[in-house]
């Protein structure tokens, strides 16, 4: 088929596509996920502000919380839970001042202790006393209480530390109460509490600093913090790439400069597949026909779901669970942000720049999706790192990369063809979301369906045959627009384009 007049160098178009891919994948790691250390540091600052406010209301003065990571000896206590309810009470008299810090924590089980990411250690420091008296009491019930008291009578400085006791029950509750009594002559001498924002599992004598494997351990890609940070990276990419394309099209002549700004903007958005069909009938076609087409590929899995009562309005389908999954961060990533951003970058932006380099239709359909497939290899690398960088992890990551490259490239062929035929992102984005919901078709479970096995195998085959037969008829450009509204009509239909075909 005829292509656009080449206004952009093929080498520039190819290098731009590679740059888009690097930018898209790299932007996922530009904003590091918030670690346990930084998260608990925020809690310390918030508690310091709360303590200062409470002290001001009571007419007393307090010293700020000390976030001290350097100490001479490592703590010996187990790691309590980070879900702490902290409250401060101040009572002042003519001769003494009493500050009480109550921390209530829920002790995790033994299994939870190993994987615990956000525990705290409490250090009580009396900066004005040379001696401290500690009194601890525990109960055989599910809760234990420790009380520490310090009396200050001189200006000498010393420190005493205490840690929370452990509990063998997963539901046990630990409560620590710290009370400091200061003489009226030294009201400014207040206890300082240091809440360390990570659990200490290893002590480095050389650097005199506690270190934890959690600090250097990367969070899973499904962790909410990681998802939020990657949303920022994707937003950055989706802003930079079209800005670059606008500048390139403007100075290369891909968009005529003798037209008004709004006409040039409409042409530019049309090349990116961002346009509104000129009538409601064609808008419905943009939604229904691509989903009907891709639904043929999933006839087999759909029948399996029907036989398992997993379709909507069937017994095994839980509306509450599905709604929570879709509305959550993972659902937002898998069904909204992921499909739209990937189709925008790997379909719209790449097709737009390659088409203006004079590329032919087969090259755009079968070569560009390879870039889309390669961009998903980072998932295999994350799996390799997560499993310990072992030889077995490397083999598993290689198999995962090959499989992802295969099916993402196959989907990329279809999505690119659909985008060129419809000149719009609506169809590719909806099909991408539908495929993410269904997952890759699995034929291994057919053996569990007894007498329905042969019908399921037949349904899989019939679905693929129907997809091949209906691919061109259901993606005919005339269903979605005309030669004036379809930016890629000339590539898919040739020039001049027939009217009303």
Q: Which residues are part of the catalytic machinery? A: 342, 376
> Cα–Cα distance between 447 and 463 in angstroms, integer?
19
CB 60 within 8 A of CB 92: yes
The crossing angle, in degrees rounded to 10, of helices 224-252 and 10-27 is 160
Total residue count of the chain as it appears in this document: 501
Distance CA 125, CA 132 (A): 10
Q: Which of 432, 413, 265, 298 is nearest to 351 (CA)?
A: 413
> Are the CB atoms for 489 and 481 separated by under 8 Å?
yes
What is the CB-side half-sphere exposure of residue 144 using CA atoms within 13 A? 18
Residue 150 backbone phi and psi in degrees, to 5: -135, 135
User: Rounded CA gap, 479 and 293, in Å?
Assistant: 14
- 265: tokens are 């903007």
Rounded-to-integer distance, Cα 23 and Cα 240, Å: 9
The residue with tokens 């990276």 is 233
Q: Strands 143-152 and 173-183, how do they pair?
A: parallel
| Residue 228, number of CB atoms within 10 A of its CB | 14
Distance CA 152, CA 130 (A): 8
Q: Is the separation of the CB atoms in 61 and 55 below 8 Å?
A: yes
SS3 of 171, please? coil
3-state secondary structure of 467: helix
Residue reference for tokens 């206004």: 7
Report residue 193: phi and psi, to 5°: -115, 125
């Amino acid at each position: 088929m005829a292509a656009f007049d080449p206004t952009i160098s093929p080498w520039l178009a190819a290098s731009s596509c590679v740059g888009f891919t690097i930018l898209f994948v790299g932007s996922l790691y530009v904003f590091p996920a918030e670690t346990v250390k930084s998260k608990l540091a925020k809690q310390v600052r918030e508690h310091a502000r709360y303590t200062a406010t409470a002290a001001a209301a009571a007419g007393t003065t307090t010293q700020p919380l000390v976030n001290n990571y350097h100490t001479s000896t490592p703590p010996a206590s187990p790691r309590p839970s980070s879900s702490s309810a902290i409250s401060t009470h101040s009572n002042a008299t003519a001769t003494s001042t009493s500050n009480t810090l109550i921390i209530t924590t829920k002790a995790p089980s033994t299994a939870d202790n190993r994987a615990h990411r956000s525990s705290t250690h409490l250090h009580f420091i009396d900066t004005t006393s040379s001696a401290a008296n500690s009194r601890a009491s525990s109960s055989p019930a599910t809760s234990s209480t420790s009380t520490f008291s310090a009396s200050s009578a001189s200006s000498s400085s010393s420190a005493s530390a205490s840690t929370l006791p452990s509990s063998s029950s997963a539901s046990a509750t630990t409560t620590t109460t710290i009370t400091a009594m200061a003489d009226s002559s030294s009201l400014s001498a207040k206890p300082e509490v240091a809440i360390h924002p990570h659990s200490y599992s290893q002590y480095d004598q050389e650097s005199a600093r506690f270190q934890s494997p959690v600090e250097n351990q990367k969070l899973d890609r499904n962790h909410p913090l990681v998802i939020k940070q990657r949303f920022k990276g994707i937003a950055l990419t989706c802003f930079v790439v079209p800005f670059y394309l606008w500048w390139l099209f403007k100075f290369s002549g891909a968009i005529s400069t003798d037209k008004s700004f709004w006409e040039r903007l409409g042409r530019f958005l049309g090349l990116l597949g961002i346009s509104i069909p000129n009538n409601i009938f064609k808008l419905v076609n943009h939604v229904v026909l691509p989903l009907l087409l891709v639904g043929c590929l999933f006839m087999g899995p759909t029948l399996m779901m029907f036989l398992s009562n997993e379709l909507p309005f069937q017994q095994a389908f839980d509306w509450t669970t599905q709604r929570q999954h879709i509305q959550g961060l993972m659902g937002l990533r898998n069904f909204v942000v992921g499909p739209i951003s990937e189709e925008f970058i790997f379909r719209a932006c790449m097709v737009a720049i390659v088409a203006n380099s004079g590329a032919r239709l087969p090259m755009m359909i079968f070569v560009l999706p390879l870039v889309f497939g390669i961009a998903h290899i980072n998932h295999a690398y994350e799996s390799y790192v997560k499993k310990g960088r072992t030889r077995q992890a490397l083999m598993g990551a290689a198999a995962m990369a090959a499989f992802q490259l295969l099916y993402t490239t196959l989907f990329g062929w279809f999505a690119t063809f659909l985008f060129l035929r419809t000149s719009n992102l609506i169809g590719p984005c909806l099909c991408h979301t539908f495929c993410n919901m269904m997952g890759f078709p699995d034929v291994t479970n057919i053996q569990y369906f007894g007498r329905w096995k042969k019908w399921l195998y037949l349904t899989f085959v019939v679905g693929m045959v129907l997809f091949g037969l209906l691919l061109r008829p259901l993606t005919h450009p005339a269903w979605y627009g005309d030669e004036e509204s379809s930016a890629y009509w000339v590539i898919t239909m040739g020039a001049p384009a027939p009217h009303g075909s």
